[in-house]
Structure 1
Amino acid sequence: MIAAIRVRGRTGIRKDIEETLKMLKLTRINHAVLIEDTPSYQGMLQKAKDYITWGEVDADSVTSLISKRGKLPGNVKLTEEYVKENTDFSSIEDLSKAIVESGAKLEDSGIKPLFRLHPPRKGYKDLKKTFAESGTLGYRGEKIGDLIKKMI
């Protein structure tokens, strides 16, 4: 499972990149989505690499993301009771493990696939350089969990 976060704004974007970001549901700064690791999604991430950062996410990061920032339709906060009553899982931890390991989908559980996050504590390093150049943009690998924790 991959977490993708939009870190740059909307002005001055080429039309094809903007369409790609819409398909990823990343329409605003500090929005995050969880997507599957498929070749088509990898191509979309590469196309939008100058506006987003992404990496493989672990179950702990998904658990904190869902429990603190998960929303239901109608902008209602996600609770443990909702997960127990309306899904096949007994807790948010079980749901997050299923998402990471077996590819369960948030939409099937009735949870919105988009997470609205705060700007990261202590800020971004550099919004014009890639993560490999000690910046913010592009592929992060396992270190996306650190950024998610700074933004929750």
Structure 2
Amino acid sequence: MDGTESRKLPRVPENLLKRRKKYQGLKAAEAKRALEEKRKLQPGKQIKFKRLETFVRDSRRKMRDDSRLRRMQIYKKKIPNISSKKLAFVVRIMDIQGVNQHVLRILKTFRLGKMFSGVFVKLTPETITMIQVIEPYVAWGFPNLKSVRELILKRGQGMVKGKKMPLTDNNMIEEQLGRVGIICLEDVIHELYSAGENFTEVNKFLCPFQLSVARHAGVNRKGYLTELGDPGNRGVGINELIRKLN
């Protein structure tokens, strides 16, 4: 043997090849039927699996909201040092899955649909009561002129014909708010900070401010990001939070 002869490969019997081909066809047909059944359940969507812990968490959160709202009806909570304040800034810092429907309606009224979104709110007895209802899910306080200006200049967007547009053109502002005497960016800032007569029109024109959170921000035992701290009334401390997230 000089090593020049070709090595013979082991042959597979023909009946075994036919059996393998038939088995592969059956598996492909089974996978196709399974995919069709899944699409019948939710066309175009994947089935979402929810763990038991999620249902327990949502149930406890709803029960907690229900009991808290009952207590609020009996014991009227007063917010200190608010008589001279006209403007508040509210930031959503907590997931709202499983919350009470009343809480959910107020969050939608304030347009706090996304996490870390913030809005300006004109303080009246009605809005103060609404803020107290959603307090476990938001951080809020009294912004100063510098915070209002920085939010408008950096993250301000207006809704024009159903589209979000950055506030970079005074002509656009005049077209949308000129009927109420608002013709430039400085007028928008002044109207918001002073909570003037046309505050509702200006606030409706503005989109909620989408703030940013650092990726390294950890979650504490309560479920809140450590970068944001606990929810509730921050007072003038909301300005520090705005600097951190803006």
* TM-score normalised according to structure 1 size: 0.81
Matches within 5 A, 1:65-84: 65-73=151-159, 74-82=163-171
- The structure where helix makes up a greater share of residues is 2
Q: Tell me if 1:107 matches 2:201.
A: yes
Match of residue 130, structure 2, among 44, 48, 63: 44
The amino acid that maps onto 2:189 is: S
2:98 corresponds to: 12
Q: Percent identity?
A: 26
Q: Tell me if 1:96 matches 2:185.
A: no
The amino acid that maps onto 1:101 is: S
Distance in 1, matches of 2:149 and 2:221, equals: 27
Secondary structure of 1:13's counterpart equals coil
Q: Deviations over 1:61-118 (max 9, x none)?
A: 0111111111122111111534774444565344313321242426348732411111
Worse overlay, 36-45 or 116-125: 116-125
TM-aligned CA distance change 1:84 to 1:8, over 3 Å = closer
When Rg is computed on C-alpha atoms for both structures, the one with the higher figure is 2
2:32 corresponds to: none
TM-aligned CA distance change 1:85 to 1:141, over 3 Å = same
Q: CA RMSD in A?
A: 2.9
Query: Which one scores higher on RCO, CA 8 angstroms, separation ≥ 6?
Result: 1
1:135 corresponds to: 229
The amino acid that maps onto 2:165 is: V
Distance in 2, matches of 1:46 and 1:14, equals: 14
Unaligned runs of 5+ in 2: 1-86
Unaligned runs of 5+ in 1: none
Q: Deviations over 1:21-44 (max 9, x none)?
A: 111111121110001011111111
Worse overlay, 48-57 or 13-22: 13-22
* TM-score normalised according to structure 2 size: 0.52
